Amino acid sequence: MAHYDLTMPITEEQVRALRVGDTVTLQQTLYGIRDATYIAMFDHQRKTRFDLNGHAVIHTAPNVRKVPVSEEYPAGYQSVCIGTTTSSRMERFTRQLIEQYGVRIIIGKGGMHEGSKQAFKDLGGVYLGIVGGTAALETTWIEQIEDVDLDDLNPESLWKFRIRDFGPLLVAMDSHGNSLYDEVNSEVQSRRDAVLASLGAN
């Protein structure tokens, strides 16, 4: 189990070095994306002006305060609270995100499924698990909202964050076909019958 400090963006080789159980801390840049952003980009073919190649995205829609554009707030937004949403809903977009935009890292909570696991393996990507529901802490890892695109979708815009020491995050799905969620799930399934028997409900 190794720890990696990655300054974004990264290469395919760097992402393929990561194995489930490793931990990662990210530096520099992180993009925020979620349901409506994905739907706009892949179901309605809307393009972003951001270059996501080699970058990490986090499943989020932040709480922000609208402020005048300044050096401190170049996008006209001050961060209030930024945290992570459940990734499972975005499952069907993973392959397109990597194939069309070159994204290497997806950060979320709760895990993703078979299609994502296969896409990570085929194209070179990982899923990093963050502790969901700990947004107050995560907010302290984000220095600035640098930019925003597709902002008519607000709060589900495509956000560009400047980050510092973002993590540690857990490599929960890697590019070698491994998923911690699969491991836990098969363990849980193996315990199900005994638990039901203890309740007289088998």
Partner 1 sequence: MNTIDYTQVEEAARELYIRALKLLPDDIKEGFQQLQGMETSERARGILGTMVTNIRVAEENQNLLCQDTGIPIYNVFIGRNVAVDGWRLKQAIAKGCERATREHPLRSSVVHPISRKNNHTSCGPGVPVIHVDFVEDPDTLEIEMIPKGSGSENNSFLRMAIPAEGLAAVKRFVIDCVINAGGRTCPPTIVGVGVGGTSDLCVHLAKKAATRPLGSACEDPLGAELERELSQAVNKLGVGPQGLGGDATSFAVHVELAATHITMNPVAVNMQCHSARRARASLGNGGIEYGF
Q: Using CB under 8 A, which of 26, 64, 119, 163 touches partner 1?
A: 64
Q: What tokens appear for 135 in the block?
A: 């947004």
Q: Is residue 44 close enough to count as binding partner 1 by CB under 8 A?
A: no
The residue among 154, 174, 151 whose CA lies nearest residue 63 is 154
Q: Using CB under 8 A, which of 51, 99, 114, 195 touches partner 1?
A: 195
Chain position carrying tokens 């707030």: 73
Q: Is residue 183 close enough to count as binding partner 1 by CB under 8 A?
A: yes
Report in angstroms how near the CB of residue 100 gets to partner 1 at its nearest. 23
- Which CB, 69 or 195, lies closer to partner 1? 195
The residue among 192, 177, 194, 173 whose CA lies nearest residue 87 is 173
CA dist., res. 86 & res. 192, Å (int): 24
Q: Is residue 53 close enough to count as binding partner 1 by CB under 8 A?
A: no
Report in angstroms how near the CB of residue 187 gets to partner 1 at its nearest. 5
Please report, for residues 20, 30, 46, 158, 186, the alpha-carbon distance to residue 50 in angstroms, rounded to integers and kept in the order given: 29, 12, 12, 9, 39
The residue among 178, 53, 187, 33 whose CA lies nearest residue 117 is 178
Contact window for partner 1 (CB under 8 A) among 4-12, 91-99, 118-126, 133-141: 133-141
CA dist., res. 72 & res. 52, Å (int): 23
Q: Is residue 69 close enough to count as binding partner 1 by CB under 8 A?
A: no
Q: Using CB under 8 A, which of 25, 48, 96, 139 touches partner 1?
A: 139
Q: Is residue 170 close enough to count as binding partner 1 by CB under 8 A?
A: yes
Q: Using CB under 8 A, which of 160, 172, 173, 178 touches partner 1?
A: 172
The residue among 6, 9, 5, 12 whose CA lies nearest residue 174 is 12
- The residues binding partner 1 (CB under 8 A) are 36, 60-66, 80-86, 88-89, 109-111, 129, 131-137, 139-140, 154-155, 170, 172, 180-181, 183-185, 187-189, 191-192, 194-196, 198-201
